[in-house]
Structure 1
Amino acid sequence: MVSTRTSALESLKPDALDPEGATSAAANAAERDALGDRLIQGSMRRSFNSNIDIDWDAPQDPDLFYLPPEMMSLYGTPLWESMTHRQRVELSRQEAANTLTRAVWFENTLNQGLLRAMLHQDPTSRNVHYALTEIGDETRHMVMFGRAVSAIGALPYRLSRREALAVQAMPLAYRGLMLWVAALCGEEVIDESQKQNARHPDVQPIMLQVFRIHVTEEARHIRYAREGVRRRIARAPWWERQFVATANGGAAFILRRLYYDKEVYRRCGLPVREAMRQARNNEQVRARRRESFEGLHGFLTENGLLNPISRLMWRSHGFL
């Protein structure tokens, strides 16, 4: 009886059931750990601490912008042409504060998603160790963004009650493939914009430092998320792929709020309704959005993660 029971138990081992599948799983785990190890080594070579790597007390030139003029929502509009230089600088300050504040809550939701995923993973693996390293990066980014809002003399932009409820629910959907695609939607589009911002000669040095740190560290996060998509999609069921291919279009609405917000114009003393109308119809803003989405659009298309519904949503918010 013992011999029979032992034989039956042996037959239930993964190697006996599917030796090729077990070998493949082991190879995938080794590949994940190898990538995690490389990213950890990169983090050790080039990571930043904004508390010491940014001169928060450096004087700010009242004539320099906080975002490049051409990256601002009203650039080139009739309302922009009617504004003084100082009004334009103030608009850049408020739009920068809006972007930084919203980046804080996105980093918050991403960290929650990564932590939830780790509950089901091997805490000794280098893949998990890099995920923890990324959470450390993102936590420091949250501190950096918060300090930047304060340093430029702006107030943070609060979420409305409806937005707060939506943001609190987002991490619950960050599972499997959705976690990695959500990370890319939040990181890659913003990263493309900041690469341009980080080299602009008319932007405050303190903001250039923030952009450069973020771009450098986000490069590793984007690579990690892209590899996460490739791994997951190879074994994701059809319904999961279809859900993610549809749901990612919701990111277009969230990202659009980085470009213009009623409260920004209210704080600048601009006519809110007219400013919103001109910003929404500003073709230069739409062109920048399309440009920032190009890389992610190509990746999602390549992996079959865009469908007619998500394409419609990205297009209706100016990214296609």
Structure 2
Amino acid sequence: MTTAPSSTAARERDETVAERSAYESVIHRLSKASVDKHWEPYRDIPWDDPEFLIDQADPRWEMPEVDKLGAHPWYQSRSPEVRAKIGLWRVATAMKIGLQFENLLKRGLLNYAYRLPNGSPEFRYVYHETIEEGHHGMMFQEFVNRTKLPVRGMPGPLSAIAQVAPWIPLISTELFFVFVLGGEDPIDHVQRKVLKDGQTHHPLEETIMRIHIAEEARHISFARHYLRNRVPRMPRHRKLMLGIISPIILGIMARIMLAPPGPMIKRFKIPANVVREVYLNNPAASQEICDSVGKTRDLCGEIGLINPLTRRIWKVMGIWAPPATRASS
């Protein structure tokens, strides 16, 4: 008679309980952080302070080095007023797309929370995040309104297709949180680079970015911990499907978040060859897209979503680089 199988089962149960306990501790910590440190757009941003007013010709709106168009001779040859307006249009469009993405995100989070059982620690955190994303949408739209620019955000056809996103949690919560990271990580990556670029930025833009980065850090942390907790325990076939779909979602999302706005190109008559040189045939722009999903790519390697098959898809999507930490190759 041997007790090895039962001992192994008991050890696995203990490890599962310990992992669940550690995961729930993270959720409680994130919920507490949302109470202890949060912002409200109409309380914490001095919109009508003279220093915060938006002037379309303010040179501080000129494009930062993060956006490759800013260094192109065509852009540099424009008048200072035009350069500022193009830069403001770019910022306003990014905020409009951001609030549209967060609208989809909030609806998806509520669909996820709707089915959570009583006592679930995720329920409270998801509602904290939904409230914070609501505040982000308000501050982004307020910024857009004050620019007085006719920015649209997502193109119409893309916006229509995106309406399926809130229903993803009803099919796969794991896929939904990959989608969440696909939208949040690229913007977080760019905003952090902008704040570190050494340029002087408009105080309103800088305040909004700092608030967004601080609160999105919690949202990104939750999505990552959720995937770390769930994906390793998924059935093999579902895990394979998630591994196949994830690089497609991430590659598309990164391009949506970082692509130049079509209406801006038309409005300022940016030549097609300039667009190609800056955004389409530019290795630096391609590298920026790849880098913007770097943390999520590392996570996918860590939780076993990258293998010889899925690695090919990452390469096809133009977002492959060896993850820093990988559970499987």
Compute the TM-score of the two structures, normalised by the length of structure 1.
Answer: 0.83
Quote the residue 2:71 is aligned against: 76
- Does residue 162 of structure 2 align to residue 167 of structure 1? yes
Q: What's 1:59 paired with?
A: 53
Residue in 1 that maps onto 2:311 = 308
Indicate the SS of the match to 1:75: helix
**Cα distance change on mapping 1:133 and 1:67 into 2, 3 Å:** farther
Q: What are the Cα deviations for residues 227-268 of structure 1, in whole angstroms up to 9, with x where unaligned?
A: 101111121112222222222223322321333132111122
CA spacing shift, 1:100–1:123, aligned 2, 3 Å: farther
Post-superposition offset of 1:110: 1.6
Instruction: Say what the alpha-carbon RMSD is for the aligned residues.
Output: 2.6
Task: Indicate whether 1:155 and 2:159 are aligned.
Answer: no
1:203–1:285 Cα change, 3 Å: farther
One-letter amino acid of the structure 2 residue matched with residue 310 of structure 1: I
Residue identity opposite 1:101 in structure 2: K
Say if 2:178 is the partner of 1:178: no
Residue of structure 2 aligned with 1:121, choices 107, 112, 116: 116
Residue 177 (structure 1) shift:
1.3
The match for 2:190 among 165, 169, 193 is: 193
Listed one character per residue, the Cα deviations across residues 286-314 of structure 1 (whole Å, up to 9, x for unaligned) are 33333333222222222232413531343
Mean Cα deviation higher: 60-69 or 234-243: 60-69
Letter in 1 for 2:189: E
Q: SS of 1:234's equivalent?
A: helix
CA distance in 1, matches of 2:73, 2:281: 11
Distance 2:178 2:249 in 1: 12
Given the alignment of the two structures, is residue 43 of structure 1 paired with residue 34 of structure 2, yes or no?
yes
Aligned residues: percent identity? Answer: 23
CA drift at 1:146? 0.8
Q: Deviations over 1:14-58 (max 9, x none)?
A: xxxx98887776655544432221111111221111112112222
Identify which of 217, 220, 223 aligns with 1:222: 220
Kindly state the Cα deviation for residue 185 of structure 1 after the two structures are TM-superposed. Answer: 1.5
Aligned 8 A contact 1:113 1:171 in 2 = yes
Greater mean alpha carbon deviation, residues 176-185 or residues 248-257: 248-257
Cα separation, 1, equivalents of 2:133 and 2:166: 15
Q: Deviations over 1:141-168 (max 9, x none)?
A: 1111111111233223154442122111
In structure 1, distance between residues paired with 2:185 and 2:265: 27
Once the 2 structures are TM-superposed, how far is the Cα of residue 170 of structure 1 from its aligned partner?
2.0
Give the distance between the partners of 2:312 and 2:163, measured in 1 at CA: 24
**1:211 is matched with which residue?**
209
SS, match of residue 269 in structure 1: coil
Structure 2 counterpart of 1:291? 291
Q: Whose relative contact order is higher, 1 or 2, with alpha carbons under 8 Å and at least 6 apart?
A: 1
Q: 1:8-47 alignment to 2 at 5 Å?
A: 30-47=21-38
TM-score w.r.t. the length of structure 2 is 0.81
Structure 1 unaligned spans of 5+ = 1-17
| Cα contact 2:195–2:206 (8 A) shared by 1 | yes
Aligned to 2:241: 243
Q: More deviation in 152-161 or 260-269?
A: 152-161
The size of the alignment, in residue pairs, is: 300
Q: Which residue matches 2:327? A: none
- Please state how far the C-alpha of 1:86 moved relative to its aligned partner: 2.3
SS in structure 2 at match of 1:127: helix
One-letter code aligned to 1:212:
R
Higher radius of gyration, 1 or 2? 1
The answer for unaligned runs of 5 or more in structure 2 is 1-8, 322-329
Q: 1:86 to 1:285 in 2, by over 3 A?
A: farther
Post-superposition Cα deviations, 1:66-109, rounded to whole Å, max 9, x if no partner, equal 47521224133332233233222122111112211111121122
2:71 is paired with a residue of what secondary structure? coil
Offset of residue 118 of structure 1: 1.7
